[in-house]
């Protein structure tokens, strides 16, 4: 079976040329109105990899649209983010091209503080199905930011242009951080269902002794099983529980260990082995870090 080729787009200028627009005023940043893009611009079903960042803003859209392997589900509009080198499938529906997209190359922000801090904005590592849903007020703020960026790009480029644009991008990212935190809180029913699924998965993982076969459950493994990106799951858990995914898994391990220490006669080494640890010393160290007791001292407290 022939492997599907990846259309790697290395520059903003190359992308704009593919989309049929004039060359951008600045070679490292562009704003594209997808209402003016033909779906035939990309070969159907071909994978695409961009060497730059993309922020998609859909002001309005009713219903659900497929995008690659996931779906956008914007009722009032939303934002989605791509970092360089992520591989995506262009959507097949023409409606998927509604909205505006901001593209900027890493070199555009490289000599600014944002160039060093942009990796802290975890939503660039979210799946497309984990897009940011916007309220009417939030959508107005984002629309104004995109309008400001568009106005600056349409001005004559001068020595201040890049400073202004980078500051607007950073403001856009900071608002997105705030709105994602709101989303984690306001979509509690959905997110609590995820936490319930996570709890049940970890419970079953140890009950079915998968740890004996596969070792400790990793963040990647758990995220995949829940059909979430690693970063989204971690950020959601931090927002609701104060723990990242690794810490949450470790707490589940400790609770399982406490159960075995208090209700069985298994040795510490046997418990460590059953939980998936390669070395009992690693288990004892984690247990003491989490509880301030060694496993033996914890067991003795029940005697």
Q: How many domains does the chain have?
A: 2
Domain end call among 158, 179, 200: 179
pLDDT at residue 87 in the model:
76
Whether residue 1 is contained in a domain is answered as: no
Give me the pLDDT at residue 21, please.
83
Residue with the bigger pLDDT between 167 and 91: it is 167
User: What's the rounded mean pLDDT across residues 231-236?
Assistant: 92
How would residue 22 be classed by pLDDT, with cut points 50, 70 and 90?
Answer: confident
Whether 81 and 170 share a structural domain: yes
**What is the pLDDT, as a whole number, of residue 45?**
61
Most confident of the ranges 134-138, 182-186, 279-283 = 279-283
273 in the same domain as 254? yes
Q: Looking at per-residue confidence, does 157 or 53 come out higher?
A: 53
> What is the reported pLDDT for 1?
40
- What 3-state class would DSSP assign to 194? helix
Distance CA 244, CA 303 (A): 34
List strands edge to edge, sheet with 47-50.
Answer: 6-9, 47-50, 87-88
162 shares its domain with 194: no
Average pLDDT of the residues of the chain: 85
Q: What is the spatial distance between Cα 140 and Cα 162, in angstroms, rounded to a whole number?
A: 24
Tell me: do 102 and 212 sit in the same domain.
no
Tell whether 18 and 149 lie within a shared domain: yes
CA distance 223 to 25: 41
Asked if the structure places residue 101 within a domain, the reply is yes
Residue 249 pLDDT greater than 90, yes or no:
yes
> At which of 125, 148, 179 does a domain end?
179
75 and 196 together in one domain:
no
Q: Which own/partner contact pairs does 214-223 have at CB distance under 8 Å and 24+ positions apart?
A: 214/276, 215/276, 215/277, 215/278, 216/249, 216/253, 216/275, 216/276, 216/277, 217/249, 217/276, 219/245, 219/246, 219/249, 222/198, 222/249
Q: Do 103 and 148 sit in the same domain of this protein? A: yes
Can you give the pLDDT at residue 184? Answer: 85
Tell me what percent of the residues of the chain surpass a pLDDT of 70.
85
| Mean pLDDT, residues 248-270 taken together | 93
202 or 91, which is more confident: 202
| pTM of this structure | 0.76
Between residues 171 and 135, the one the model is more confident about: 171
pLDDT digits (tens, 9 = 90+) for 73-92: 445 678 989 999 887 766 55
- The two beta strands, 47-50 and 6-9, are parallel
Statement: residue 43 has pLDDT above 60: no
pLDDT at position 231 over 60: yes
Please indicate, yes or no, if residue 262 is contained in any of the structural domains.
Answer: yes
Instruction: Return the higher-pLDDT residue of 134 and 190.
Output: 134
Give me the pLDDT at residue 35, please.
Answer: 75
Give the model's pLDDT for residue 224.
Answer: 92
- Give the structural domain span for 28: 6-179
Whether residue 265 is predicted with pLDDT greater than 50 in this model: the reply is: yes
Q: Which residue has the higher pLDDT, 261 or 22?
A: 261
Higher pLDDT, 15 or 146: 146
Domain boundary among 127, 148, 179: 179
**In whole angstroms, what is the distance from residue 208 CA to residue 276 CA?**
12
Asked if residues 76 and 60 have their Cβ atoms less than 8 Å apart, the reply is yes
User: Looking at residue 117, what is its pLDDT?
Assistant: 95
Same domain, yes or no: 18 and 164: yes
Q: Are 237 and 244 in contact (CB under 8 A)?
A: yes
């Amino acid at each position: 079976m022939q492997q599907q080729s990846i259309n790697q787009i290395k520059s903003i200028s190359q992308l704009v040329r593919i989309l049929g627009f004039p060359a951008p005023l600045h070679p490292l940043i562009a704003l594209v109105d997808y209402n003016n893009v033909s779906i035939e611009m990309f070969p159907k079903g071909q994978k695409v990899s961009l060497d730059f960042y993309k922020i998609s803003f859909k002001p309005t859209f009713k219903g659900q649209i497929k995008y690659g392997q996931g779906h956008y589900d914007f009722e009032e509009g939303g934002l989605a983010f791509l970092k360089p080198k992520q591989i995506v499938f262009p959507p097949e529906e023409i409606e998927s091209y509604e909205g505006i997209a901001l593209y900027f190359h890493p070199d555009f922000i490289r000599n600014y503080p944002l160039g060093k801090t942009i990796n802290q904005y975890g939503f660039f590592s979210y799946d497309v199905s984990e897009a940011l849903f916007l309220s009417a007020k939030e959508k107005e703020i984002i629309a104004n930011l995109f309008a400001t960026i568009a106005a600056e790009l349409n001005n004559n480029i001068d020595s201040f242009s890049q400073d202004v644009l980078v500051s607007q991008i950073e403001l856009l990212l900071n608002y997105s951080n705030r709105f994602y935190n709101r989303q984690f809180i306001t979509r509690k029913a959905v997110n609590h269902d995820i936490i319930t699924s996570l709890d049940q998965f970890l419970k079953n993982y140890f009950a079915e002794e998968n740890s004996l076969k596969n070792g400790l459950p990793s963040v990647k493994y758990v995220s995949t099983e829940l059909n979430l990106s690693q970063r989204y799951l971690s950020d959601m858990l931090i927002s609701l529980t104060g723990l990242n995914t690794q810490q949450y898994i470790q707490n589940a391990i400790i609770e399982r260990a406490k159960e075995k220490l208090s209700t069985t006669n298994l040795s510490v080494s046997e418990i460590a082995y059953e939980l998936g640890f390669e070395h009992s010393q690693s288990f004892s160290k984690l247990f003491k870090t989490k509880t301030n007791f060694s496993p033996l001292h914890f067991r003795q407290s029940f005697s």
